[in-house]
């Protein structure tokens, strides 16, 4: 069984210790480091090269959103799971837009937490339908070029350009420093806004409406 290297980032000692104890009981999980703030998390990622980071949002020095952005930019293969409470939806959306692979609520059962880590490590994402629709709404509100009648965000147009050039999801993810799961979320949002079901149809519609150059 391959060992999954996990880095814990939280400014509360009690939560860090609880997570360390609970996750250390899982045979396939190894806690390689603990970080008390976002700056430490970035540094420890470079030092320990974890597979997964469990990232708190509200931390001193640098918060979890900024840390996620830096980690995904410098080490795109490291996967980030946001640990959050119900009240932090906007922060979760921001972290997801920077490439986090998903989020889990702090109140989660330890067994589900370990299962979530395995899902993300295997290439999956942890985003509920509700959060996905909030992402689409928040992307709708992002400012976009005047010619864009479908309300695509700047990031979605970037993804659309790559799609139109024939790039695969994995290549788009690498080019834009995003996770493949995040790219899939953007593509779903693009198809939904353009009311299409595939990349060829999306490309044609975007060119016809002037979003993409002919």
Per residue in 4-30, pLDDT tens? 999 999 999 998 999 999 999 999 999
For the full predicted model, state whether its pTM sits above 0.75.
no
Strands 79-84 and 29-35: unpaired
Largest Cα–Cα separation, the chain: 57
Q: What is the mean pLDDT of residues 48-71?
A: 93
CA distance 177 to 89: 23
Domain segments of the chain: what residues? 4-127, 134-208
Per residue in 198-208, pLDDT tens? 989 999 998 88
Residue 47 has pLDDT above 90, yes or no: yes
What pLDDT is stored for residue 144 in this prediction? 45
What pLDDT is stored for residue 114 in this prediction? 92
Residue 146 has pLDDT above 50, yes or no: no
What pLDDT is stored for residue 208 in this prediction? 86
**E-only strand ranges, 58-200:** 79-84, 102-105
Which contacts (CB < 8 Å, 24+ apart) does range 163-172 have? 163/187, 163/190, 163/199, 163/202, 163/203, 164/199, 164/202, 164/203, 164/206, 164/207, 164/212
CATH class of 134-208: mainly alpha
Of 93, 85, 91, the residue nearest 63 (C-alpha): 91
Considering only residues 188 and 212, tell me which one the structure prediction assigns the higher pLDDT. 188
The answer to whether 118 and 101 are in contact (CB under 8 A) is no
pLDDT band for position 214 (cuts 50, 70, 90): very low
Token pair belonging to 170:
């994995």
The answer to whether 186 and 132 are in contact (CB under 8 A) is no
Considering only residues 138 and 30, tell me which one the structure prediction assigns the higher pLDDT. 30
What Cα–Cα distance (Å) separates residue 137 from each residue in 155, 173, 180, 187? 14, 22, 21, 14
Residues 6+ apart with CB under 8 A from 133: none
pLDDT band for position 53 (cuts 50, 70, 90): very high
Considering only residues 67 and 86, tell me which one the structure prediction assigns the higher pLDDT. 67
Which string of b and e fits 23-47 if b means at least 16 CB within 10 Å?
A: beebeebebbbbbbbbbbbbebbee
What pLDDT is stored for residue 148 in this prediction? 65
Per residue in 74-120, pLDDT tens? 998 999 999 887 666 777 888 888 889 988 888 888 888 999 999 99
Per residue in 158-185, pLDDT tens? 899 899 888 999 999 888 878 888 899 8
Token pair belonging to 3:
């060992």
CATH fold for the domain made of 4-127: Rossmann fold (3.40.50)
Q: What is the mean pLDDT of residues 29-48?
A: 96
């Amino acid at each position: 069984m391959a060992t999954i290297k996990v880095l814990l980032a939280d400014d509360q000692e009690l939560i860090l210790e609880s997570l360390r104890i609970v996750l250390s009981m899982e045979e396939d999980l190894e806690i390689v480091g603990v970080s008390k703030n976002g700056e430490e998390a970035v540094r420890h990622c470079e030092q320990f090269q974890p597979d997964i980071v469990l990232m708190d949002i509200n931390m001193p020095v640098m918060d979890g959103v900024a840390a996620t952005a830096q980690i995904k930019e410098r080490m795109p293969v490291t996967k980030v799971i946001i640990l959050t409470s119900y009240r932090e939806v906007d922060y979760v959306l921001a972290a997801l837009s920077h490439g986090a692979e998903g989020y889990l609520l702090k109140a989660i059962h330890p067994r589900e937490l370990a299962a979530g880590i395995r899902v993300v490590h295997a290439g999956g994402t942890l985003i509920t339908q509700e959060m996905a629709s909030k992402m689409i709404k928040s992307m709708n509100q992002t400012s976009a070029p005047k010619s864009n009648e479908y309300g695509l965000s700047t990031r979605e147009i970037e993804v659309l350009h790559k799609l139109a050039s024939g790039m695969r999801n994995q290549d788009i993810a690498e080019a834009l420093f995003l996770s493949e799961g995040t790219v899939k979320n953007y593509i779903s949002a693009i198809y939904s806004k353009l009311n299409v079901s595939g990349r060829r149809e999306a490309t044609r519609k975007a060119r016809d409406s002037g979003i993409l150059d002919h």
